[in-house]
Chains A and B, each alone.
Chain A
């Protein structure tokens, strides 16, 4: 069964710091990797996805995918208190209708 492991479980950083979140997945057949953000009392919201080896940048977010090491990371530049949330990593298989989530990293940005 596909597994998604995230680290760290929780992270506290000061406002303005660079944040790095990690995710590893169990098989190289993963077609796409997604990062979701979940604020308390809300459903997860899709932030950014990556399909190809390498990196992808959107605004303050950069995601790096290394298929050989089955690892993906999310970096948030110039973090803000509104970035405080749980971040979920998810992977999908090609041709599969479903995605598998990790348990999440709880991020707290201290003003």
Chain B
């Protein structure tokens, strides 16, 4: 199985409420990534885990948290959702660096 699974496919959240998105992979990839994709914009890297080490991008450092309790699972957590968080969230995984990411189908988040 060479897939990355994301749950849920669609998520509706209220402004100010927390959001937790889930991603899993069974390929034993050492690196897992979270991207935010808005219409007509490039996917934007939010953070990634290399093994157990979390790396967050400087401009989104305080907005997103993540956990990776085991090699297969990674979550993305928004503590207090704002309207600007409405987007597609893509999870990806790879082995030993950026070569050949495998992406999930994404979670479409709508904040109202």
Chain A interface (Cβ < 8 Å from any Cβ of B): 4, 9, 32, 36, 41-46, 49, 88, 92, 96-104
CB distance B45 to A43 under 8 Å?
Answer: no
Given contacts A41-B105, A43-B105, A97-B50, contact A92 B98 (CB under 8 A): yes
CB distance B42 to A98 under 8 Å?
Answer: no
Of A36, A41, A45, A103, which one neighbours B41 at CB under 8 angstroms? A103
Of B42, B90, B100, B102, which one neighbours A4 at CB under 8 angstroms? B42
Across the interface, which residues of A come within 8 angstroms of B1, CB to CB? Answer: none
Q: Which of chain B's residues 89-112 have a Cβ closer than 8 Å to chain A?
A: 90, 92, 97-106
CB distance A97 to B90 under 8 Å?
Answer: no
CB distance A97 to B101 under 8 Å?
Answer: no
Q: Tell me how far the C-beta of A106 lies from the nearest C-beta in chain B, rounded to whole angstroms.
A: 9
Q: Tell me how far the C-beta of B107 lies from the nearest C-beta in chain A, rounded to whole angstroms.
A: 11
Q: Can you pick out 19 interface pairs between chain A and chain B where the beta carbons lie within 8 Å of each other?
A: A36-B101, A41-B105, A43-B104, A44-B43, A44-B103, A46-B101, A46-B102, A96-B98, A97-B98, A98-B45, A99-B45, A99-B98, A100-B42, A101-B35, A101-B43, A102-B42, A103-B41, A103-B42, A104-B42
Across the interface, which residues of A come within 8 angstroms of B48, CB to CB? Answer: 97-98
Cα distance A44–B43 in the bound complex, in angstroms:
10
Q: Tell me how far the C-beta of A100 lies from the nearest C-beta in chain B, rounded to whole angstroms.
A: 7
Which 6 A-B pairs give the minimum distances between C-beta atoms? Answer: A43-B103, A92-B98, A103-B42, A101-B42, A99-B98, A101-B43
CB distance B105 to A42 under 8 Å?
Answer: yes
CB distance A88 to B43 under 8 Å?
Answer: yes
Q: Tell me how far the C-beta of A79 lies from the nearest C-beta in chain B, rounded to whole angstroms.
A: 23
